Amino acid sequence: MTQPLLEVRHLRVEFPTRSGRLVALDDVSFDIAPGEILGVVGESGAGKSLTGAAIIGLLDPPGHVAAGEICFEGRRIDNLPYEEMRKIRGRHIGAIFQDPLTSLNPLYTIGRQLTETIRTHLQVSAGEARRRAIRLLRETGIPAPEARLDQYPHQFSGGMRQRVVIALALAAEPRLIVADEPTTALDVSIQAQIISLLKGLCKKHGAAVMLITHDMGVIAETCDRVAVMYAGRIAEIGPVHDVIHAPAHPYTEGLMGSIPAMDEDRERLLQIDGSMPRLTAIPAGCAFNPRCPKVFDRCRVERPELMPANATCAACWLHAPTAGGVA
């Protein structure tokens, strides 16, 4: 089998506070294969963006990796000095963020930002960098790229700015793209264009993608596999078709049931009662147990690890060989 491009093993991220350590990510493990698109989905505060930030080495202090390891192309990267990680970020791991204005310098032209990124990571001349920049803008669907290269970010619409950010992420031909909510701030029609563009470009360039989103429609349309996160842990992970159509974790089942289906006549959507616990008040046992309609005694005292569950893996005692009855 091909070695995974990215391996995350038992990742734990902590934030020291006055009242003690706050565990934001707890024992998160997954792989991404070369060329694969892995979706990461969950409610706000589940730990999706934090996982991406840990991978690209941009955790906000005092947050830090307290345990586990992150390996990229077989090399451990979570313990590298800042300058070493900076060489990997951009060159080997690209990033696309939710708001393109936070990724673009308003004082520099689009062309300067693209060519500087290219020349920082690749040994090419100024002329070649400019030609590459024009080609990237053309690939990302920006009309008249030769003219727009000398314009500033404020002269672009939101959708066009996000296309520029995708071009920046691909500028140094990275092997992995971490895309954190890349379409949230855009109109629905533009979202579809951006997702289609990202999918096509990554396939063309051979890059793998970690796509962080809360939109299951985007996941279904784009990803090969999906990891569902809840309260800083992975609740379920598996092929996107199986997770969507045959969810094995009650939380995933609730997420799927809350999505309107065009081919069904339902008066009411399903809902998950309650809300995700604060990281300072995660209950004993399974973190989802206070909201779970299938909870039984073991769920309240013992925390489940990911285990085989039909075609996916789920952190749920319903799939243990000795699963108990419903309370």
**How confident is the model over 92-110, as a mean pLDDT?**
89
Question: Quick one: 176 and 253 in the same domain?
Answer: no
Count Cβ atoms below 10 Å from residue 188 Cβ, excluding itself: 8
Question: Quick one: 104 and 27 in the same domain?
Answer: yes
Question: Quick one: 157 and 297 in the same domain?
Answer: no
Q: Tell me if 302 is assigned to some domain.
A: yes
Question: Quick one: 100 and 55 in the same domain?
Answer: yes
DSSP category for residue 30: E
**How confident is the model over 200-225, as a mean pLDDT?**
88
Question: Quick one: 55 and 193 in the same domain?
Answer: yes
Q: Where in the sequence is the domain holding 272, given as residue range(s)? A: 249-319
Q: Tens of pLDDT along 13-57?
A: 999 988 888 999 999 999 999 999 999 998 888 999 999 999 999
Question: Quick one: 171 and 135 in the same domain?
Answer: yes
Question: Quick one: 31 and 123 in the same domain?
Answer: yes
Q: Tell me if 235 is assigned to some domain.
A: no
With bands split at pLDDT 50, 70 and 90, how would you rate the model's confidence at 1?
low
Question: Quick one: 153 and 43 in the same domain?
Answer: yes
pLDDT at 204 over 50: yes
Q: Tell me if 267 is assigned to some domain.
A: yes
pLDDT at 265 over 70: no
- Residue 143: the pLDDT is 92
Question: Quick one: 17 and 158 in the same domain?
Answer: yes
Question: Quick one: 197 and 262 in the same domain?
Answer: no
Q: Tell me if 41 is assigned to some domain.
A: yes
- Residue 325: the pLDDT is 47
Question: Quick one: 143 and 279 in the same domain?
Answer: no
Q: What is the CATH number of the domain that holds 89?
A: 3.40.50.300
Q: Give me the helices (H) in 122-156, please.
A: 126-139, 145-148
Domains: count for the chain: 2
Q: Tell me if 78 is assigned to some domain.
A: yes
Using the CB atoms, write b or e for 275-313: b if 16+ within 10 Å: ebbebeebeebbbbbebbebbeebbeeebbebeebeebb
Name residue 205's amino acid.
H
Where a domain ends, among 223, 258, 274?
223
- Residue 191: the pLDDT is 81
With bands split at pLDDT 50, 70 and 90, how would you rate the model's confidence at 199?
confident
- Residue 92: the pLDDT is 94
Q: How far apart are CA 129 and CA 118, in angstroms?
A: 6
Q: Tell me if 219 is assigned to some domain.
A: yes
- Residue 260: the pLDDT is 67
Q: Tell me if 1 is assigned to some domain.
A: no
Residues near 14 by beta carbon (within 8 Å), at least 6 away in sequence = 21, 22, 23, 24, 63, 64, 66
With a pLDDT cut of 70, the percent of the chain lying above it is 95
Q: pTM value?
A: 0.91
Q: Tell me if 191 is assigned to some domain.
A: yes
**How confident is the model over 135-140, as a mean pLDDT?**
92
Q: Tens of pLDDT along 207-217?
A: 899 999 988 88
Question: Quick one: 129 and 77 in the same domain?
Answer: yes
